[in-house]
Amino acid sequence: MRIHLWHGYLLDGTGSNVYTRELAKEWSRAGHEVTVLSQEPAPERYDIGAAATLRPELPGGLLPVFVLDRYEGLEPRLLQDFTRAEREDYVDANVEALRGLGPADLVFMNHVLMGGAVGAALGVPFRVKAHGSELEYSMRGRPELEAWGRESLAHAAATYVGSRHIRDVLEEVVGHVERVVEVPPGVDVDEFIPQGRDEALVELLAEARADKPNPGNAEERLPDEGNAERLEAFFSTEAPTVVYFGKLILNKGVQLLLEALAGLDARAVIVGFGDYRAELEAFAGEHGERVLFTGPFEHRHLVHLLPLADVAVVPSIFPEAFGMVAAEAAACCCPPLVARHTGLAEIAAGLEASYPAHLAHLAGFETGDVSDLRAKIVEILELSDVDRDALHRAARRTVVERWSWASVAARLLAPVA
């Protein structure tokens, strides 16, 4: 098949970025001719198989986003703050880029807006993936954008959602949508694998030493300067270790994790970037906790960091489409502990189904409940060797059976009734 895979953002960091590059890799591995359209300035940094790439030129450099971050060479602006003319110019520019590629057997768009709108304007059959961020952060409660999303999806051959929660949110925001198909995101189970502690630490330090320079941590999308030395010192002794990786914004609930750790004999590694980082660092400093902030990590780091942790906490207090970070941790035999709500609750349910009955409750905690989070962390850290091994094996097995990228990519190409 000839596939045009459109994504309006980058290829690293957040869920939809990872989603795009993993689909490109799996589809090209399967022998399909794939072209990725994104705003990634350096696609050669990522493994996207044999996929070709194209970076559409944006009028005025304006990029519609759902959460404000910095994008080199572009002017990010919240989607809801775009004028109608600016939205139309953005759609037109991306339609022109897609048409310039010629015909395709499949046009696959990311995000209801702007992907659905670009697909509808293209005037050929297309499929669209709703990621949730556009629905919750930009469209909900804004009638004009809700109507635009509804009209755009009416032209789609299929609309994919990653969880039942996002199916419900989609209907709440835009109304009833025909041809909705539920396919969860995936994990590269050949990349995220269990490792022994010594091997994992050696390889994590090697990856950190290979990072690009980031003097003064001026670039928030790069790992912190000096991480190799800081990580080596941090892991020079063995101690119970908790990890968080994701955006550092208020809605991700990292502050709850830091509060839960207060007074515990445990340390934490906090991976990510975002506008709440300074407050989190101040909070951790005030409480005297053993917390290492690293800035963002790529998969090449995470696959070695996760085996060094006893538990990966996902404390989000805002609706989540799925919970890819939890699945990635589980693939490395690092048991995830997730807030039990929205798409994260579906991750917890999948893990619970595989966990031994007396350990099933350790997949999740009550959203926003610091006491419950603390109690579950303590229980995981105090597991016997037998129970810990059983939890690790069940976590890995769940991901392989339910959430591998190969199975996800194949399901997205299946005929839609």
Q: DSSP assignment of 213-253, as one string?
A: P-GGG--TTSPPTTHHHHHHHHTTS---EEEEES--SGGG-
Q: Helix or strand or coil: residue 267?
A: strand
Residue 191, domain member (yes or no): no
Position 172 scores a pLDDT of 97
Which value, to the nearest 10 degrees, does the dihedral of the CA atoms of residues 212, 216, 220, 223 take? 40
| Average pLDDT score over residue span 79-83 | 98
Place of tokens 């670009």: 118
The answer to whether residues 152 and 238 belong to one domain is: no
The answer to whether residues 168 and 250 belong to one domain is: no
Asked if residue 324 has a cis previous peptide bond (ω within 30° of 0), the answer is: no
Q: Which of 113, 148, 183 delimits the end of a domain?
A: 183
> Residue 406 is encoded by which pair of tokens?
């190969």
> Residue 345 is encoded by which pair of tokens?
């609750």
The answer to whether residues 74 and 126 belong to one domain is: yes
**pTM of the model as a whole:** 0.75
Residue 192, domain member (yes or no): no
Position 319 scores a pLDDT of 87
Query: For residue 286, what pLDDT band results from cuts at 50, 70 and 90?
Result: confident
Q: Choose between 35 and 186: higher pLDDT.
A: 35
The span from the CA of 7 to the CA of 90, in Å, is: 13
Residue 214, domain member (yes or no): yes
Q: Which helix (H) or strand (E) holds 312?
A: strand 311-314
Position 323 scores a pLDDT of 86
| Average pLDDT score over residue span 151-164 | 96
Position 287 scores a pLDDT of 66
Which CATH number fits the domain that encloses residue 93? 3.40.50.2000
Q: Is the dihedral of CA 78, 83, 87, 92 positive or negative?
A: negative
pLDDT > 70? residue 174? yes
The answer to whether residues 81 and 208 belong to one domain is: no
pLDDT > 90: what percent of the chain? 91
Position 88 scores a pLDDT of 98
> What is the number of domains present in the chain?
2
| Average pLDDT score over residue span 294-314 | 97
The answer to whether residues 213 and 154 belong to one domain is: no
| Average pLDDT score over residue span 101-107 | 98
Burial (CB count within 10 angstroms: exposed 0-12, middle 13-18, buried 19+), residue 63: buried
The span from the CA of 408 to the CA of 322, in Å, is: 14
The answer to whether residues 229 and 314 belong to one domain is: yes
Residue 413, domain member (yes or no): no
| Average pLDDT score over residue span 154-172 | 95
pLDDT > 90? residue 96? yes
The answer to whether residues 286 and 362 belong to one domain is: yes
Position 69 scores a pLDDT of 87
Mean pLDDT of the chain: 96
Q: Which of 148, 183, 218 delimits the end of a domain?
A: 183
In degrees, rounded to 5, the angle at the alpha carbon of residue 404 between the alpha carbons of residues 348 and 231 is 75
Residue 416, domain member (yes or no): no
Position 394 scores a pLDDT of 98
Query: For residue 416, what pLDDT band results from cuts at 50, 70 and 90?
Result: confident
Position 339 scores a pLDDT of 98
| DSSP secondary structure letter of residue 54 | E
Residue 189, domain member (yes or no): no
The answer to whether residues 174 and 222 belong to one domain is: no
The answer to whether residues 215 and 311 belong to one domain is: yes
Query: For residue 345, what pLDDT band results from cuts at 50, 70 and 90?
Result: very high
- What digits encode the pLDDT tens for the residues 361-406? 999 999 999 999 999 999 999 999 999 999 999 999 999 988 999 8
The answer to whether residues 115 and 217 belong to one domain is: no
Which value, to the nearest 10 degrees, does the dihedral of the CA atoms of residues 227, 230, 233, 236 take? -40
Residue 243, domain member (yes or no): yes
Residue 190, domain member (yes or no): no
Is-contact 301 204, C-beta < 8 A? yes
The span from the CA of 186 to the CA of 189, in Å, is: 9
pLDDT > 90? residue 46? yes
The answer to whether residues 110 and 256 belong to one domain is: no
Q: How many CA atoms lie within 13 A of 371 on its CB side?
A: 0
Position 204 scores a pLDDT of 98
The span from the CA of 133 to the CA of 135, in Å, is: 5
> Residue 382 is encoded by which pair of tokens?
């105090």
> Residue 364 is encoded by which pair of tokens?
């999740």
Is-contact 168 135, C-beta < 8 A? no
Q: Which of 183, 208, 238 delimits the end of a domain?
A: 183
| Average pLDDT score over residue span 335-352 | 95
- What is the residue range of 123's domain? 2-183
The answer to whether residues 360 and 395 belong to one domain is: yes
The span from the CA of 206 to the CA of 285, in Å, is: 28
Beta strand residue intervals within 14-162, DSSP E: 33-37, 52-54, 62-65, 75-78, 106-110, 127-130, 158-161
Instruction: Using alpha carbons, select from 192, 187, 186, 184 the residue that is nearest to residue 333.
Output: 192
| Average pLDDT score over residue span 66-92 | 96
